[in-house]
Chains A and B, each alone.
Chain A
């Protein structure tokens, strides 16, 4: 595959050779693939990209996408065109915790902009940037379906709702102390029923 396919990111064959799912992740991938009729394994692409993003550092490198293509027996460009279409896939490295603050109508009506400004100041980064320690990336997101509990932010699988500055402090503190990669596939999401 050519490096042009992946824009700015370069393809590294040595890294590609080391890109392999853990046994557990491979089992999950096989379970996902088995949900579709024979020959339709490409349908598993979106869920498997989520799995790959969680497995390989929170973003999809050219090597990761090439690996996913090999699992599903499709062309690498078929992976890239999907990964570049959907907002949840990161095509460049991000912090361990990606904070996505919803900014659409109901969240804006309830002070989402203030939450964004507060996090920018507290972490000393702007929207789209990552902290120097690689811990946090700040993003804004479009409607996440939490309008009745606005303002809110998503981090990995967790929805943090009815935000206040104090809640933001506590959330950042917790994630920093845990210090681990947060993914959409996390089982230990912090939502309460």
Chain B
């Protein structure tokens, strides 16, 4: 069994309540941090831990914290990014729903480290009921003196509240999130300035993902060096993986970074293999934005080494033969899956979610969806594959925020590894989708 640091108590009854959470060692990091550590010491521990942003980009958290400007007399803010919207990703929802205090504890300890007196959790609007769960937990924390004035009798005070969004993938981009938190449309800002200098209401702000903030708790408790002993190389600690698609046991798994992809897919501890005795065809390993890989490349690198669940190993070979760990949204597809149809659902998503600010993304995502629709309708020509490639190549690097890349990469990867599927549809002038019927019929019978 791998070590768990975030959801080790997931099966404890009523772990969502403050009483049970505390009885299982909860809020120890707040005690330790506020009573025995200086704020900068916590940032140092986070640096030592090697923790990298768990939302998808994988930027070193300690470094991000150290960029925070600290001008006199100007408030600083910590904002938690709970706008989890990357297709295939549902780990933050699971963590917040099951163990809301794990996030709140992380928010208190992290806010203290950053010198924030007011912090916000920005959660996607669709997770409204999760916001209710968080608000209940926050009220418990206030009543217990863990939030508000003079926390645990120290001179540190913090207010924490939740804001729900309105339904927009783009608000997971940190500057769009800040715009939305200010009550505006979620249009990403031009950077620089970065939020660390001018963020929420123009003040220095750190925006961190839910899982990143929750990971600060074990880091403070065990020390950064101990945390860094888990994992491989620059991929330290544990990671929540959202597993879905055609696997026997979909769900959220906490893994030690460094286990093999093969173990993750086939062992009983995790996904339990591909269901209905089917063979694995392809995997999207880190949320819809990352390149899809065929079985042979997800299990082994181009060099023939076993592929590991780490930032480095998954990206081994670059985009030609590799992918990314991303958000940890792991979608496995069986041999009957149409890669073209799956791509169509992704591209429809990106077109829907483009904020419309930059032309290459606004127009490009529309073009991509339109061309893929031709494949779905059986009216595409072979030359449409080249057109698709051309359109996606004109988005990357030409937009204010990474939604452009996120929309382009899956198209490029699908053509790179599964071009024959596009050609086949174009030649037959017909698309027959056989990939999903088994699952639902099986459930109906069961």
Contact = CB atoms under 8 A, between A and B. Distances in A.
Most B CB within 10 A of own CB, among A45, A88, A109: A109
Interface string B83-126: 01111111001000110000000000000000000101000111
Contacts of A108: 341-342, 345, 436
Contacts of A19: none
A94 to B, nearest CB: 14
B84 A109 contact: no
Contacts of B301: none
Nearest to B128: A184
Interface stretch (A9-17, A151-159, A170-178): A151-159
Nearest to B13: A193
Given A105-B288, A110-B440, A142-B352, A42 B124 contact: no
B429 to A, nearest CB: 21
B185 A81 contact: yes
A50 interface: yes
B252 to A, nearest CB: 7
The B contact surface, by secondary structure, is mixed
B444 A164 contact: yes
A46 interface: yes
A35 B161 contact: yes
A149 B16 CA distance: 21
Contacts of B181: 43
Interface extent on A, as a size class? 35 or more
A44 B90 contact: no
B51 interface: no
A87 B168 contact: yes
A91 B87 CA distance: 26
B389 interface: no
A145 B182 contact: no
Contact of A46 (B98, B125, B345, B439): B125
Most B CB within 10 A of own CB, among A43, A44, A82, A146: A43
Contact of A143 (B201, B349, B439, B443): B349
Contact of A148 (B75, B184, B242, B446): B242
Contacts of A145: 84-85, 89-90, 93, 124, 126-127
B404 interface: no
Contact of A109 (B75, B243, B439): B439
Contacts of A147: 87-90, 242, 244-245, 250, 329, 331
B66 interface: no
Nearest to A89: B166
B353 interface: yes
B164 A47 contact: yes
B435 interface: yes
Given A86-B165, A191-B97, 17 more contacts: A37-B118, A42-B183, A46-B166, A50-B125, A78-B183, A82-B185, A87-B167, A106-B87, A111-B439, A147-B87, A147-B242, A148-B90, A148-B250, A157-B129, A165-B444, A189-B128, A193-B16
Interface of B: 16, 75, 84-90, 93, 97-98, 118, 120, 124-129, 132, 159, 161, 163-169, 180-186, 201, 242-246, 250-252, 284, 288, 329, 331, 333, 337, 341-342, 345-346, 348-349, 352-353, 355, 435-437, 439-440, 443-444, 446
